[in-house]
Amino acid sequence: MNRIQDLQKLIKLTGDRAKLDAKANDTYVVYKTKDGQFMKEYSNGNIEQIDKQENDHE
């Protein structure tokens, strides 16, 4: 495998691990889509978009 494939695999495994940890701790993971939207994915499979207001820390 080349470096890019290795890195892609590592990124995928990291995301999978985050989902397992979220399930074990009854919480959620947050990620950004290709379109630039932030999503919150719960351990039960529900996914919701995070509103702009939730992102602001002002």
The rounded distance, in Å, linking the Cα atoms of 57 and 35 is 22
**CA nearest to 29, candidates 8, 14, 11, 43:** 43
Amino acid letter, 16: D
Q: How confident is the model at residue 5 (pLDDT cuts 50, 70, 90)?
A: very high
Model pLDDT for residues 28-47, shown as the tens digit of each residue: 999 999 999 999 999 888 99
Judged against a pLDDT cut of 90, whether residue 56 lies above it is answered with no
In the prediction, which pLDDT does 55 show? 52
In the prediction, which pLDDT does 3 show? 93
